[in-house]
Structure formats: structure tokens, C-alpha cells
Structure 1
């Protein structure tokens, strides 16, 4: 997709129109180990630390060097400055800002600092991730996870055995 087509798709839209509304969040008392665990998902680029809906910190992998003790709090290693964008910002301008800064994620907040979502520039830099993109990826991951636990025709259960279905949270 060319920059011209991206710009055309974003005309008359604000950041609020193109955000992921249920981004990955952690409470402000999350440990470094918990944050590292959340970052084990390679699609998680920014963790949002919240308290009562307010954004208190935005954390990147690079904020947590390996030498840090995992039992410490993650919040002191996060920051909000430079990692947020107002919801009313024109989407086309937000796209240009992310490209110019070499970033792909910004937390979206209202005037009182309440988290509204996450602005996610797609890997190819040609548009923004949507809730439906995230849901589709989650469904695909779930489907893939289930395929590892099903007997295949070459790995069938012995005659008379029953498959036990487990429930995952």
C-alpha cells in the first residue's frame, strides 16, 4: 500500500477512530517479571500500566534491561511522556508522527489521562491495527494451540482410549 493510499484511508479520521480499544494492560504494582512475561508475546510492543483506568506508565521491552531484578516494580522503568497521543489528533498526522519518530505504538488518552486505547502502526507501516485484526490473530493463535493437542490420523489414540478435553482459561 502506498503512502497516498494510506493518507486517503485516514482522511477525516481521528486517532480515536483507528485505535485498538482493548490493549494489553497491567496494574501499576506489576513486577518486572510480570512485564517480561507479557512481552513474551511478540505482538506486545508496549505495555500500559494503569490504575482505575488512568494511564500511569507505558513500558517498552527496552525499558527492562536483563540485569534488573525481576521482583522489582515495573512502573519506575516506564514513562508516559513521549508515549501518548490525544484521541482527537487527526489520524493522518498521527501516522506521520509515528513514521518520523520511528515508533509503532502510542497510548491514547483523554484530557484527564484516562486510557482509551493503543495506536498501533502495522508492521509494514501502511496503516493501523484494529480490534478486528487483534481478534483474528487471537483466534488464529487459539486454533494453532488446539491443533497441537488433537490426535492426528498418524498419532491416533489406541483402541478403547478416550480423549480427555481440558478447559483453558
Structure 2
């Protein structure tokens, strides 16, 4: 049985508004777990950004959307996941926005660092919980 992208995607990816500034994008990309920013207007994907998309000379108050692209960074939910995994491993990309024909953002296909499979909603929740616990521990030690 073929596994589809919809079965492997993260269903509630973090997004930034399409009107976000370069400074806001750089701040979001400073998180080591963020590899692809999804710039949205409502539920519509307007662009994607990686760290390398933003030139060092881009003014912090300029629109991040200017530097974004959709080309090569989206996939449909009904595409087989295994060939995409192979393509992502081959190209070195690790993230694809999952969209419908109208560019409605449905999720994020996230290749694990090992390349062996895809991140899940449970993986994201676990990482967020661990980060929260670490943050609480740091606050307790400094109080």
C-alpha cells in the first residue's frame, strides 16, 4: 500500500504572516528547528523562506515575502511519500509545504535529519514539551 504525503505531514505547522518583515523572518529562523518559514495570508501560502534566501544586505524592516519562493518547495497531499523522501535526500532539502490546488496550506512534510523518515505531529509536540520543561527548569534555577 502506498503511503501518501497527507499521511506523513505535520498538520499544524508554524507560520508567519505574509506581511512579516525580514527582521521577523530572521528571528524565526534563529531557532535551530526552523528550516523553512511558511508565509501565509489567512490559510493561503504566499511564500517560503530559508536562511539562505535572505541576503545579509536585506533591510530588517523590508518585507520578507520579497525574498520568498514557492518554486520547488510545495507538494500536493495525494502524492506518494516515498519517492519524495528519496528526492529530498538527494537534493538536501528537508521541508516541503503541503498545499492544495488553490495554495491553501494543509501541512508540512518534514524529513528527519537521518533521512530515514518524516517528522510527525507527535515528534513536534514532544520537542515543544522538552523545550518548555528545559525553559521552566532554567527559570527555577535562577529564581
Residue 97 of structure 1 deviates from its aligned partner by: 1.7
Residue 93 of structure 1 deviates from its aligned partner by: 1.5
Q: Would the aligned equivalents of 1:50 and 1:56 in 2 still touch at CA under 8 Å?
A: yes
Residue 40 of structure 1 deviates from its aligned partner by: 1.3
Query: In the alignment, what sits opposite 2:44?
Result: 54
1:131 equivalent in alignment to 2:121 = yes
1:113 equivalent in alignment to 2:103 = yes
Alignment partners' CA distance in 2, 1:85 and 1:70: 30
Q: Which runs of 5+ in 1 are unaligned?
A: 1-10, 156-162, 164-169
Query: In the alignment, what sits opposite 1:81?
Result: 71
Alignment partners' CA distance in 2, 1:19 and 1:60: 19
Residue 150 of structure 1 deviates from its aligned partner by: 1.2
Query: In the alignment, what sits opposite 2:139?
Result: 149
TM-score scaled by length of structure 1: 0.81
TM-score scaled by length of structure 2: 0.95
What RMSD over aligned residues (CA atoms) do the two structures have, in Å?
1.3
User: Which of 6, 17, 20 lines up with 2:7 in the alignment?
Assistant: 17
SS class of match (1:119)? strand
Q: Would the aligned equivalents of 1:119 and 1:128 in 2 still touch at CA under 8 Å?
A: yes
Larger radius of gyration: 1
Aligned residues: 143
Alignment partners' CA distance in 1, 2:139 and 2:42: 38
SS class of match (1:136)? helix
Large movers: runs of 4+ above 2 Å? none
